[in-house]
Amino acid sequence: MLTILGFVMIATFLVLIMMKKMSPMGALVLIPALFCVLVGKGAHLGDYVLKGVGDLAPTAAMLMFAIIYFGVMIDVGLFDPIVRLILRFCKADPMRVVVGTAVLAAIVSLDGDGSTTFMITVSAMVPLYRRLKMSLVVMTGVAAMANGVMNTLPWGGPTARAAAALKVDASDIFVPMIPALAVGLLFVIALAYGLGLRERKRLGVLTLDQVTAGDPEQVLVGAGSGGKGAKGRKGGKAALTGGGAGSGTDAEAPSSNGSGSSDASSHEGEDDDEFKGLDPHRATLRPKLYWFNAALTVALLALMVTETMPIPVLFLLAAAVALTVNFPNMNDQKARVAAHAENVVNVSGMVFAAAVFTGVLTGTGMVEHMARWLVDGVPEGMGPHMAIVTGVLSLPLTYFMSNDGFYFGIVPILAEAGAAHGVSALEIARASLVGQALHMSSPLVPAVYVLVGMAKVEFGDHTRFTVKWAALTSLVVLAAGLAFGII
């Protein structure tokens, strides 16, 4: 019964948010609360929720201060040179923009933290997507898939968990998987190329001058740089010099009324207040502190990778230092925090709402029953192929479970079953990494709320667009692993 109710609860959640019958925050709270009552454990709902909140509180704190930190870095101009380079590379070509998104997300993912990757990628790319009237759902999907493949780095989390759960060396898991993961990343870039061509066909051919209103050096950054001095010149609307608006593609996500796109392409009459081509001399810039801010950011990322201190503490300290040094005046500090308060509240709220979902799913035992049902359903004859089974099961299990639950609860069971048929623990561990491209878009991953929240994309739209491509990416990694004899 718990198995059935668990699957029904997850299906109900996904259907309601994709059909936009409920907001993600409301669905994350109310649906698990209802099912907790249905399984007869309503009296324990408070305990489950508090347990979930306690587990995710450090993540929420990390995201809160990370948003403030990177918001300040955007305000002071740390990423302006990167945005200019991207603008020159992309040349206002939608295909180049989407490919650039995949490459940027993959490079930034080297720090091993999804939230950081999404904050930097979104901050750099969203203004360009909006100016070109491109689909923001394409951006969130491509960024999530690129980060998912790169999330398998030894310091990214899944590989370390697999190594700890099966008592093997992380390098023995990751290094042989590099060719398969490289194929997966190339597939994401090729997919980005294809999606970019579709966007180019939908929008027509644009020129850089039309996008930047005659100022190719004008930097496009997010609304977080608002405030005094942030009122740059409004760039002209990107004109179409070829093709029409078209009737849309799969890259377009329906709006809340189902009649159009959820991204900027449906806001033709929208004023440029949210994303402007900002004056390079805006008041929030701190050019004299550029190298200090760059060194602070590099040091922060280095400390994250080496795990010198807990990540929430690192971001808390870094945000405090960044605010104090760049904005010594108290009123300026308050203004910077206020400028990013909306993102902080939205993302932190979603994380705590997700804590209700994970708390109930785990506390009632539904997730354990679901996982065991899937594992027990594997035919006995598949024993010698348990690595392949693990790779396939990693897709749904890492999507519906936390990485901790999967790697410490399920992978050891799969490894034990494989050992009985001569399948090594290393093969099981490598195969367990396959589903990470899909995992990064799971409603149980806090970082995905940073991605969709900062991009202002509906989570349901992101899910509907991304899941099929992310699942295909995971299967490509699995196929490459089999072809290379790694799995």
Tell me how far apart the alpha carbons of residues 455 and 286 are, in angstroms, rounded to a whole number.
Answer: 25
Taking alpha carbons only, the member of 252, 277, 256 closest to residue 265 is 252
The C-alpha angle with vertex 115 and arms to 113 and 118, in degrees rounded to 5, equals 110
Tell me how far apart the alpha carbons of residues 399 and 448 are, in angstroms, rounded to a whole number.
Answer: 12
pLDDT over 90 (residue 187): yes
Tens digits of per-residue pLDDT, 289-322?
A: 999 999 999 998 888 877 788 888 998 999 999 9
Within 8 A by CB and 6+ apart from 5, the residues are 35, 38, 39, 366
Quick one: what percent of the chain has pLDDT higher than 90?
34
Q: Is the pTM of this model over 0.85?
A: no
Bridge partners (DSSP) of residue 278 are 219
Q: In the numeric block, which tokens belong to residue 322? A: 């960044």
pLDDT (0 to 100) of residue 219: 44
Q: How far apart are the first and last CA of the chain?
A: 35
pLDDT (0 to 100) of residue 193: 96
Q: Are 134 and 265 in contact (CB under 8 A)?
A: yes
Tens digits of per-residue pLDDT, 78-97?
A: 878 877 787 777 777 899 99
Q: What is the dihedral of CA 419, 424, 426, 430, to 10 degrees?
A: -80
Tell me how far apart the alpha carbons of residues 14 and 383 are, in angstroms, rounded to a whole number.
Answer: 32
Q: What are phi and psi of 22, to 5 degrees?
A: -140, 155
pLDDT (0 to 100) of residue 211: 55
Taking alpha carbons only, the member of 28, 15, 464 closest to residue 261 is 464
Within 8 A by CB and 6+ apart from 197, the residues are 95
pLDDT (0 to 100) of residue 290: 92
User: Which of residues 421 and 97 earns the better pLDDT score?
Assistant: 97
Q: Which residue has the tokens 């668990």?
A: 6
pLDDT over 80 (residue 287): yes
